[in-house]
Amino acid sequence: MPPKLPEVDEGVFDEVDSALFEAQRIKGQLLKKEAQSIANRSVYFGNKIKDSIEKYKEAADFFMTGNDNQQAIDCFEQALILMEKKPKEFRSREKGEVYLEISECLREIGVRTVKEMERLEEITQNACILLAEDGKFYKSAGIEKDLAKFLEEEGPSVDNVGELEENYFYAKAIEHYKNAGEMFQTENSKTSMMECFLKCAEIYGLIADYSNAMKYFEKVASVLASEKLTAFNAREPLLRSFLCKILENLAKAENDDLTGALCQGYEDLRDCYDRYCEICIHLDGSLEGNMILKLIESVKKKNPKEMASALKKFDKMKTLDSWNTTLLLKIKEAISVLDLT
């Protein structure tokens, strides 16, 4: 039987980590002072701007390793100030990468307020613009897509968000997903482009901007349907688009003369389905196509129970995700309201 090893106090590891971080920060401070010294010299044999910038960047790396991201940001900002003194000596990409480093430090520190979120957006946007200016469209698009995701997921939970317009950060996220999608399109990166446009459509659908949601779902479906290998996949965005179409029509039915609006809305839904079958020849007779037809009948009959039964059958064959479930619940509630009239 092997001898029992002595227990090690976990606090020892914390002390070691703390000492290592402190050593990195001290090295960062020394490099920062060296950078300042080079920049302030009246006589210097070499390119003092470039050499000072390199020292600031080195210092920033040590500060980041030492878990002092605010000091790292200060160093990167000093590097940008020096770059502006001799703008022709630095490519847009070099400036963009410094802005990108600052944005990553800001995330590490934590974004807790609207002001901090807006600063992060501005810094990251600067990085995207500068990288794109240097022809780095794919990298710029990836950064913008990542920014959009961050705004979508983290924006609504920051402090003071209630003081802003409703769906403020969702609108911001859509804007950046669009920009990213368009840049991916110029790079002929269809998969990434469609991911961005799908996110636009999904967010539009969740904030009840159904017309724009349909526009982007249809755009993605058309791209998928145009290729033999992806044509079958066009059915899903068309189903999602149709859910938005139903909700748009139901909203009109609530505001207009009910009987006339429903009658007209039913014909409109049938026309929409026929148009979608033209976009994707695999829709008619498919699981998604049959689901759409069941939904049309449920709306026509104002029968939420029939709709629920159809959804159960569909869910057994293909699990509904949270986005579909959210919109289907809205449809069911709207039909239930109409059923009471």
**Could you report the per-residue pLDDT of 20-49, keeping only the tens digit for each?**
899 999 999 999 999 999 998 887 788 899
- pLDDT tens-digit profile of 199-229? 999 999 999 999 999 999 999 999 999 999 9
The percent of residues above 90 in pLDDT, for the chain, comes to: 71
Torsion angles phi and psi, residue 94, rounded to 5: -65, -40
Position with higher pLDDT, 53 vs 251: 53
Q: Is residue 40 assigned to a domain?
A: no
Counting beta carbons within 10 angstroms of the beta carbon of residue 40, is it exposed (0 to 12), middle (13 to 18) or buried (19 or more)? exposed
pLDDT at 15 over 70: no
Say if CB 307 and CB 294 are below 8 A apart.
yes
CA atoms within 13 A on the CB side of 169: 25
DSSP 280: -
Nearest to 36 by CA among 25, 50, 52: 52
Q: Is residue 228 assigned to a domain?
A: yes
Q: How many CB atoms lie within 10 A of CB 326?
A: 14
CA distance linking residue 64 with residue 46, whole number of Å: 28
- pLDDT tens-digit profile of 177-190? 999 999 999 999 99
Structure-token match 């957006």, residue found = 121
Q: What is the pLDDT of residue 168?
A: 94
Q: What is the pLDDT of residue 335?
A: 82
CA distance linking residue 25 with residue 61, whole number of Å: 10
Q: What is the pLDDT of residue 264?
A: 62
User: What is the overall mean pLDDT for the chain?
Assistant: 90
Structure-token match 């009239």, residue found = 341
Q: What is the pTM of this model?
A: 0.88
pLDDT at 245 over 60: yes
- pLDDT tens-digit profile of 283-302? 999 999 999 999 999 888 88
Nearest to 189 by CA among 142, 128, 147: 142
Q: Is residue 276 assigned to a domain?
A: yes
Q: Is residue 261 assigned to a domain?
A: yes
Q: Is residue 124 assigned to a domain?
A: no
Q: Is residue 45 assigned to a domain?
A: no
CA distance linking residue 226 with residue 281, whole number of Å: 11
End-to-end CA distance of the chain: 80
Give the number of domains in the chain: 1
Rounded (5°) CA angle 36-38-44: 160
Q: Is residue 17 assigned to a domain?
A: no
Which range marks the domain in which residue 339 is found? 208-341
Segment 316-330 shows an average pLDDT of: 92
Q: Is residue 267 assigned to a domain?
A: yes
Task: Identify the band that residue 313 occupies on the pLDDT scale cut at 50, 70 and 90.
Answer: confident
- pLDDT tens-digit profile of 128-147? 999 999 999 999 999 999 99
